[in-house]
Amino acid sequence: MKDFTTYYKETAEIGYIQSIISSIFYVNGLPNARINEIVMTESGTIGIVKALLPELVEVMVFEGQTLVHNMKVVRTNEFFQVPASDKFLGRILDPFGIAQDHYGKIDSKTFTYRHIESPAPQISARVRITRPMHTGVMVVDILTPLGMGQRELILGDPSVGKSTIALQAIVSQARLGTVCIYALIGKRKSDIKRIETYLQKMKVLEGTIIVGSSSSDPAPMIYLTPYSAMAMAEHFRDKGKDVLVVLDDLSTHAKFYRELSLLSRRPPGRQSYPGDIFHIQARIAERAGNIKMKSSKVKSITLLPIAETQEGDLSGYIQTNLMAMTDGHIFVDIAEQKKARHPAVSFTLSVSRVGNQTRSKLEKEIARHLHQMLAQARKAEELGRFGVELTEQTMHIIRNSEKLEAVFNQDSDLVLSKELQLIIIGLFLSEYWNAKSGKEIEADIKKLRLVSEAGSLDKLKLEINRCETLEQFKAVMVKASPSITKLIAPAKNEH
């Protein structure tokens, strides 16, 4: 950027700081200032115009140690922008695009600058979501499917596995060539390091950008983190890439925006949040979507915002706001976690409003059948609690649902392809695992992944693709069961 004197010569407007309140200061003067314009103090501190009051200009600043009363402030006639570059892949950045890892500076010659608050695509540019977005998490992909360009909220109590599901989705999509951006909003530095370590372990860091602000950063920097992540996502989308963005988490974002609003003396509303909190976060969500580009190609930004609940309460103010502005939600339930289910996704309280339209006829039939089975089992379990004697048929339904829940159990480092998920579900439906325990089923699934990666199941995958009905699918899996047993049987030296 230029210096204070140069900007003054260009704009011929100068103001004076009248009051300073933490990360906010008020300037008298600057009659032509505009929202989101950058201003500069004579000490070189940069701020962003956030409100135009009758007599004053409200400015948000990222570091206020050098500010004093009556200090001169000048307009720059420039708007706040963040850099975006292909060189950002594999790096950890702050919301300003500055590298925070140990790999050195990024060449600024590769930068493209983008406005941090670009307008959302028009309705005319949006197209129907038809491509599936596989997360690699079986319980999600089978029961609550997602599509490319969808906005799906992940919510649940602290430490129940919300971030794990988002990370598995990143691993699954990065392997398919999707550009992935993980934004950590006001998190601990150890959390940022943990995310980096996981992505390195899964060998997908090179296709991912980590944008992070720590809890020790100024509130304005934390507030801008999701906007910065979306601006970078738009850069890659405009270059013809599909993008997956995870915002972890928007509950924290809302709290820091509330802090800034209270400092600005705006009238507080429900739970002291400002009246425009829905608008602020909806603007972020609306920038995602399945978009028809000028080249007539369809590219997408898929958004997975995360929100925190308290004791499984889905009726919180921010939580219901986010549900209203997204295309569904995955509820990670602490009650399911207590039953040793991982991921602890509640299939009854999770919704995907557009994911079903991305699936084949067979996949829809499988999901319908499994939902029916789980619902019947829940109903039977409720009856059993009242001491009602259950029939053998009802007991069979309950045992089947327990087997299915064991099939859905999945470690964080196990990311399953769509084809392998169908094989696993097919084995369950053909009663292949009826005589096995949950631990044996999990061990078999891990072996199946290795066998699949070796290409030994390619022929079976082609046969499944030709199936149109559930009965055809079951017949194919019953026929394939003996050969699968041979493939995953332990070697002789393992006995």
Q: Is the pLDDT of residue 495 over 60?
A: no
Q: What pLDDT does 98 receive? A: 93
pLDDT band at 146 (very low <50, low <70, confident <90, very high): very high
Given a cut of 60, whether residue 9 has pLDDT beyond it is: yes
pLDDT value at 491 more than 60: no
According to the model, what pLDDT value does residue 64 have?
63
pLDDT grade, residue 2 (50/70/90)?
confident
Of the pLDDT bands very low, low, confident and very high (cuts 50, 70, 90), residue 437 is confident
What would the mean pLDDT of 398-405 be, rounded to a whole number? 88
Give the DSSP per-residue string, 416-430: --HHHHHHHHHHHHT
Please report, rounded to a whole number, the percentage of residues in the chain having pLDDT higher than 90.
Answer: 82
Instruction: Taking each helix axis as running N to C, give the angle between helix 361-385 and helix 392-408, from 0 to 180 degrees, rounded to the nearest 10.
Output: 120
Quickly tell me which residue has 């939902």 as its tokens: 371
Distance in Å from the first CA to the final CA of the chain? 69
Coil, strand or helix at 163:
helix
Residue 383 has pLDDT above 90, yes or no: no
Q: How confident is the model at residue 392 (pLDDT cuts 50, 70, 90)?
A: confident
Enzyme catalytic residues: 353
Question: Which pLDDT does position 387 carry in this prediction?
Answer: 66
Q: Are 231 and 183 in contact (CB under 8 A)?
A: no
pLDDT of 296: 87
- What's at 101, amino acid-wise? D
- Average pLDDT (266-277) is 93
**Cα-based angle 98, 181, 108 (whole degrees, multiple of 5):** 30
CA dist., res. 303 & res. 230, Å (int): 9
Determine the pLDDT at residue 143.
95
Cis omega (within 30 of 0) on the bond before 121? no
CB of 244 within 8 A of CB of 178?
yes
Residues 76, 38: Cα–Cα separation, whole Å: 6
**Tokens standing for 135?**
């997360």
Quick check: 492 pLDDT over 70? no
In total, the chain counts a number of residues equal to 495
Q: Give the least confident one: 71-85, 99-113, 125-139, 480-494.
A: 480-494
Task: For residue 348, give the nearest of 376, 323, 326 by alpha carbon.
Answer: 376
Given this model, what pLDDT does residue 396 score? 83
Among the ranges given (30-39, 62-71, 188-197, 484-493), the one the predictor scored with the smallest mean pLDDT: 484-493
459 vs 361, 423, 424, 451, 466, CA distance in Å?
21, 12, 15, 12, 11
Q: How far apart (Å, rounded) are the C-alpha atoms in residues 430 and 475?
A: 8
Q: What is the pTM of this model?
A: 0.93
Domain annotation for the chain: domains and CATH numbers = 4-79 (2.40.30.20), 83-358 (3.40.50.300), 362-494 (1.20.150.20)
